[in-house]
Structure 1
Amino acid sequence: MAKKLHILVVDDATFTRDLVKKGVKLGYPGFVVHEAANGRQAQAKLTTGGFDLVLCDWEMPEVSGLEVLEWMRSDENLSDIPFVMITSRGDREHVVQAVERGATNYIVKPFTNEKLFEVVTRALTKSLGVSAKALKKLGGAESQVQGGDSAAVLAGGLSGDLNIAERLETDASVPSSRKERATPRDKVIAQVRHSGGTIGCLVKEIDFNQVVVVFKRPERMPTLLDQATFDFTTDEDGRTSRVNAYIHALQAAEKRQDTDILRMTLRFVDDDPDKQDHLGYYFTVIDG
């Protein structure tokens, strides 16, 4: 009986972990996929042995993905396990940093199932010394991988208003003294990246849990529940942050059925303290 391959998915955001696990199982249903909610859990599980691949988020509290990577590469029992860094940091500096520390490969959020399948395949065929065809046989792959479907029909029944949409409890670590939300009076431009491309948008409302934006219909529509990042910059201090999220709601921004102006709500799934701090400052800068 062929050996089952064991994959460890590490991310502090449950939603992202679930997406990655689902993507791996979609491509390789025969793999055994384990999960860890943070770097410390990952280290504890890896110590038990038996893993063939690690898919790990970079930005996690306490023990980051980079620290997990360095720890693995310094342990002779774990140093040969392929390690794929998963993060929203796609600039050259961070790519080089991950590779220099021993990352096997690198994948930037948001990504498609096809991209995840490609990266997993490349990492395992190299480490196991087998062909892609042999790996598919090991993983029971039957060419099931599909990309995100276009959102041809907008979900008009889902509200994108912060005062109507379901509230997620604000993290207790967020100091009560700082601004909790913002409703810009002037035009505030930001960017949303999803698996189909990048969208320039205007921020309508934002808090620590979600953001509501409006944008012109793009060539490739985003998909409900798709991974995304909300990218924003504050010129006052020169900071740029990319907050991991998922697409919670899509609807027309006007009453006309043929409108090209759309409204989207992104739910944040990112607890990075630096990004939380930057969001708080951002609220102060843009609030009308």
Structure 2
Amino acid sequence: MGKVSVLIVDDAPFIRDLIKKGLRSQLPGIEMEDAADGRKAQTMLSRQSFDLILCDWEMPEMSGLELLTWCRSEEAHQKTPFIMVTSRGDKDNVMQAIQAGVSDFVGKPFTNEQLITKVKKALSRVGKLEALVARGPQRATSAFANDSLSALTGNQPAPAPATRAPSGGGKTNFGQGQLRLANASMACVIKALSLKEAVLIVKRGDNLPQVLDNAVLDLEQGEEVQEIARLNGYLHSVAALEPKPSSEWLQLFFRFVDKDPAKLEYLSRLIARGTAQKHYVPGA
């Protein structure tokens, strides 16, 4: 029985580890290697071939789109399944990746089921799935229910206006945003913001967010030209805003995992502009 190898490319160690854990739990016979950016992945691909590439879009040195374009120009990798694992779900980016030859998408944040479904689909297309299914436990999935690109072009919820939360300190001007979890999306206000994390206030719902959930924080800023920052991360802390079990509001500490200099520079500008407008409290 031949081996099946996967290359995982993402500048965030947390995301790489999350993908490895997910694949290992359902496909224990799979062999995995990882790279922190597209340039390192290109070097690895110049030396060896993989049965599947799972790649982030926004990375330093070389982006996922640039790596995809290079792969499709190389005879050895022209037919290798290439899945983009990204928070870039708008139609223009999706079409750009399709034209470059992408095989499929996994939208951040993702559940383990969504990841495994897409990986199994890709490996099945190249006749490699059979080499793995007998090695690990099989769990019912949604029959490739998240199979179409509509999950990225039409099914992502539009950013909702944030509900005003109690400030706890008399201030009422907060930055607005949207927190996207794997199975839910919620409006939020940003109580504090730094290069490492954001303190978010969200209204309590039926499903409580959990510590270590991977998520994407969408921030819309800019008066003349609309800018959207898609910041990948995970929930480091979840607590009631008020010291009582019936608290209507939750305070979340959201840790960023992106290492992309462009995102860090964007976040710096966001903090500077927000601080000047009294939207954020710096130094979270």
- TM-score, normalised with respect to structure 2: 0.82
Q: For structure 1, which segment, 39-48 or 88-97, has the greater mean C-alpha deviation from structure 2 after superposition?
A: 39-48
Measured after TM superposition, the shift of residue 188 of structure 1 is 2.2
Measured after TM superposition, the shift of residue 272 of structure 1 is 2.4
Measured after TM superposition, the shift of residue 194 of structure 1 is 1.0
DSSP-derived class of the 2:18 partner: helix
Amino acid at match of 1:256: K
- Where does the alignment leave 5 or more consecutive residues of structure 2 unmatched? 142-170, 279-284
8 Å Cα contact 1:196/1:221 also seen in 2: no
Amino acid at match of 2:247: T
Measured after TM superposition, the shift of residue 221 of structure 1 is 2.2
Measured after TM superposition, the shift of residue 65 of structure 1 is 0.7
8 Å Cα contact 1:224/1:250 also seen in 2: yes
Alignment of 1:204-243 (within 5 A): 204-236=191-223, 237-243=225-231
Q: Distance in 2 between matches of 1:15 and 1:72?
A: 25
Aligned to 1:174: none
Q: Distance in 1 between matches of 2:49 and 2:221?
A: 45
DSSP-derived class of the 2:77 partner: coil
Q: Distance in 2 between matches of 1:220 and 1:90?
A: 24
Measured after TM superposition, the shift of residue 273 of structure 1 is 2.8
Q: Distance in 1 between matches of 2:192 and 2:3?
A: 47
Aligned to 1:116: 115
Aligned to 1:82: 81
Aligned to 1:246: 234
Amino acid at match of 2:21: K
Aligned to 1:268: 256
Match of 2:175 among 167, 179, 188: 188
Q: Distance in 1 between matches of 2:139 and 2:28?
A: 9
Q: Distance in 2 between matches of 1:225 and 1:106?
A: 22
Aligned to 1:34: 33
Using a 3 Å threshold, how does the CA distance of structure 1 residues 145 and 20 change in structure 2: closer, same or farther? Answer: farther
Query: Per-residue displacement from partner, 1:172-216 (whole Å, max 9, x unpaired)?
Result: xxxxxxxxxxxx761322111111211111111110000001111
Using a 3 Å threshold, how does the CA distance of structure 1 residues 126 and 209 change in structure 2: closer, same or farther? Answer: same
Q: Distance in 1 between matches of 2:107 and 2:24?
A: 19
Aligned residues: 246
DSSP-derived class of the 1:77 partner: helix
Alignment of 1:3-42 (within 5 A): 3-42=2-41
- Where does the alignment leave 5 or more consecutive residues of structure 1 unmatched? 147-183
Q: Distance in 1 between matches of 2:38 and 2:56?
A: 9
Measured after TM superposition, the shift of residue 284 of structure 1 is 2.8
Alignment of 1:95-244 (within 5 A): 95-128=94-127, 134=130, 136-137=132-133, 140-143=135-138, 186-236=173-223, 237-244=225-232
8 Å Cα contact 1:188/1:202 also seen in 2: yes
Compute the RMSD of aligned alpha carbons. 1.8
Q: Distance in 1 between matches of 2:255 and 2:219?
A: 15
Amino acid at match of 1:17: R
- TM-score, normalised with respect to structure 1: 0.81
8 Å Cα contact 2:3/2:131 also seen in 1: no
Measured after TM superposition, the shift of residue 77 of structure 1 is 1.2
